[in-house]
Every structure is written in structure tokens, then in C-alpha cells.
Amino acid sequence: MAETILITGGAGFIGRRVARLLLERGDRVRVLDSLVEQVHGGVERPAELPAEVDLHVGDVRDENAVVAALRGVDAVIHLAAEVGVGQSMYEVDRYVSGNDYGTAVLLQQLIQKPVRRIVTASSMSIYGEGLYRAVDGAVLETVDRRRPGPGAWEPTDADGRPLAPLPTPEWKRPDLVSVYALGKYVQERLTLTLAPAYGMEGVALRLFNVYGPGQALSNPYTGVLAIFAGRLLNKQRPLVFEDGGQRRDFVYVDDVARAFVTALDHPDAPGNVFNVGAGNSVSVAEVGERLARAMGLDIAPEITGQARAGDIRHCFSDASRARDVLGFTARRDFDEGLVELVEWVARQSAEDRVQDARRELQTRGLVA
């Protein structure tokens, strides 16, 4: 049976893809989005947002806007959030307000008018460092890498021996090393705590590094692939912090959208958190190199040798819970996804704001 689904933050990169999938299966879609200039560049309605979507321009922290957006809604996908680890470390009030308070306002109104289910976007950032194995075979959930530097990028044990990164499962203990991570953890916990208390079903999806066509190329705090693409589009070298050896899990946006739609309906989803990743890893330096080649450019990344506060070394997903419980696996191969990203990037223009963002971090002592 068709439902009316509210997507908060639904005019963004992921939300537009989710909206399209819901419309294709016959649901009615409403979006509440503040159309932040940093992401949307001042447009009144993103061109990629399907015309059938009922767009409400408003802030999730605005009680009246939330009340109006919730009228007649059967379920909610909560994507609205300020995004960016680096920026969260100096625009603390903005991130805590948008992510924590915004979620609180939404849930406060859902208490008054419960829906069937709410699916909230969490983040792999809550893990901090991923899971590691020590030389003696011990599996370590918490790794101290508070003072990384040249020659000491990799986490080690107490005797200075290197640790081997492992796929990170949902049971790993959170290690919240940035304001952004704190906020995402609060968002998922509020959802999973309050939803069942008021007769709703709650689900949280911990997204890994989402990429694909449609990402905001001029936003220096978006995903790393979009940042690199924006730099390369302007014939500038992608900036890679540390030595570039840090490993991440890149998952295509269409796969992520499919994960949200699956979590919205699956009978075994409520009360759970699920990793949404490809289950593979690639180094950040390699990402820059492969993207440049795919764009036909002979431009090597600039390895800065600097560390940013809040960054982690390795984290990639153990995707088995989503596979075993939801029947969900990512389908898009990384190189295949890169081709589609590059084809889209070739038709875009981007304002390069990366150096401005770097200066913001440096002046605050957040880059060393």
C-alpha cells in the first residue's frame, strides 16, 4: 500500500535518490530541507529533485515547519544534518544545534503524532578508529592515535608494533573523536530510544563514505571524492592529509538509497543499527590517483604530511549484518561508480574552496 514518506534533508545528495526510489514504487514523498547555501548554492529548488516531490523549505529545528511537514505522514527518513568532521570542530554550536537539537525537535513532534517507522542516517564516524588486530591475535576495539605525525601514522600497540586494520562491525564500541561523530551518535540513540517508547519503529544506518553523481562539488566539507573531483575539475591537485595511506570504504549513492528504502520496510530492521558500506577499502591517496586517471588528468595528489583533529586512520565496514538481516549488499563496483561520477563531473563547474577550508583549520590549530 502506498504511503506518504517525509524525508528530512531530502533535497540533498542522498535524499534526492531516496525520493526517486520511493516515487518509483508508488509512494508519495514530502521533503523538509533548509537548502543550506554551503550545499545548495542558493537555489530555490534543486534541479535534481523530482518534480513530484512536495518540497517544504524549512529548518528541522523549527517546530512549526516540522509540524507542517509531518501532516499526513506515515513514515520518516531522517537525513537532515550538518555534515563535515573538520568544520564540526570549530562551528560547534552550528553542528550541535543542527544535528542534536534538530533531531530532538523532530522526535518531540513525532511523540505528539507517531508514525509507523523512522529511519535515521548515522555515520561510520562514530566508530572513531576501526577495529584492529594486534600481533598476538587480540582484537582491539579502542586504539589511541591522538598524536599522529610523520613516521607514526599507523596505530601501534603498547610495544610500538603495528596493528592490522579489520572490517568494522556494528558491535564495535564507539569512540567519538569529533563533534560531528558526537552528533551522529546522539541522532541514532535518540531515534532508537524514543521510537519504541511511543509505539514507533526506529532504525539507524551507519553510512560509510558515500559517493556518486550529484554531490556538492563546491562544498569543501563534503565527501572526499567530491572534494577531489572539485579540485581536479579546476586543474588543482587534491589535498591528501597525513601520508595518504588511510583506508576508507566507498559506497555508491544508489546503493545507499536502496538501503534506506529496504530499512523502511523490512520487518527485522526495527531496533537495529546497520553498517551501509561496500565492505571493501581503498587508500585515500589511491582514490585521488584513480579519480585523476578516470578524468584523463595527469595530476598527482598533494600529500600534506599534516594531521587534522578528529580524523581517523582506518575504518571500513563489516557489511554482514545488513546482508544477513536485511538481504542488502552494495552492488556498484568502485571503478564502475567512478566512471559514472566522472561522466557527471565533466558537465559541472565547481568553485574551489578547499584552501579556504584548510586555512580555517590551520588558524584554529586543528591541523598539525
Write down the domain spans for the chain. Answer: 4-363
Burial code of 47-79, b = ≥16 C-beta within 10 A, e = fewer?
Answer: eebeeebebbebbbbeeebbeebbeebbbbbbb
- Model pLDDT for residues 220-263, shown as the tens digit of each residue: 555 677 778 778 878 888 888 889 899 999 999 999 999 999 99
Phi, psi of 38 (to 5 degrees): -60, -30
Residue pair 245/311 in contact (Cβ under 8 Å)? The answer is: no
Instruction: With CA atoms as reference, report the closest residue to 49 among 65, 72, 33, 25.
Output: 33
Looking at residue 292, what is its pLDDT? 87
The reported pLDDT for the residue numbered 365 is 55
* Maximum average pLDDT range among 88-92, 244-248, 301-305, 308-312: 244-248
Predicted local distance difference test score (pLDDT) of residue 220: 54
pLDDT tens-digit map of 195-222:
999 999 999 999 999 988 887 665 555 5
What does the pLDDT average to over 275-283? 94
- The DSSP code sequence of 83-116 is --HHHHTT-HHHHIIIIIIHHHHHHHHHHHS--S
Per-residue pLDDT at 148 exceeds 50: yes
Find the mean pLDDT for residues 112-130. 96
Mean pLDDT of the residues in the chain: 88
Name the residue with cell 513514515. 75
Distance CA 355, CA 231 (A): 10
Pairing mode, strands 164-166 and 131-133: antiparallel
pLDDT of residue 142: 85
CATH number of 4-363: 3.40.50.720
Annotated catalytic residue, options 180, 185, 221, 252: 180
Distance from C-alpha of 1 to C-alpha of 25, rounded to nearest angstrom:
10
Are the beta carbons of 148 and 301 closer than 8 angstroms? no
CA gap 85, 309 in Å, rounded = 9
Q: What is the mean pLDDT of residues 172-200?
A: 96
Range with the poorest average pLDDT among 34-43, 94-103, 327-336:
34-43
Task: Give the 3-state secondary structure of residue 149.
Answer: coil
The per-residue pLDDT for 228 is 81
Contacts (Cβ under 8 Å, ≥6 apart) of 1: none
The pLDDT of residue 357: 47
Q: Per-residue pLDDT for 361 more than 70?
A: no
CA distances from 216 to 14, 32, 40, 347 (A): 11, 18, 7, 13
Please provide the DSSP assignment of 157-223 as one string.
Answer: -TTS-B-EEEPBPTTSPP---SHHHHHHHHHHHHHHHHHHHTT-EEEEEEE-EEE-TT--TT-TTS-
pLDDT tens digits for 48-90? 899 999 999 999 999 999 999 999 999 999 999 988 887 888 8
**Is there a catalytic annotation at residue 95?**
no
pLDDT at position 353 is 52
Cβ–Cβ < 8 Å for 106, 78: yes
The yes-or-no verdict on residue 311 having pLDDT over 90 is no
Instruction: Show the cell assigned to 153.
Output: 601514522
Q: Give the per-residue pLDDT at 147.
A: 57
DSSP annotation string for 227-271: HHHHHHHTT-PPEE-TTS--EE-EEEHHHHHHHHHHHHH-TT-TT
Tell me the mean pLDDT in the region 329-342: 89
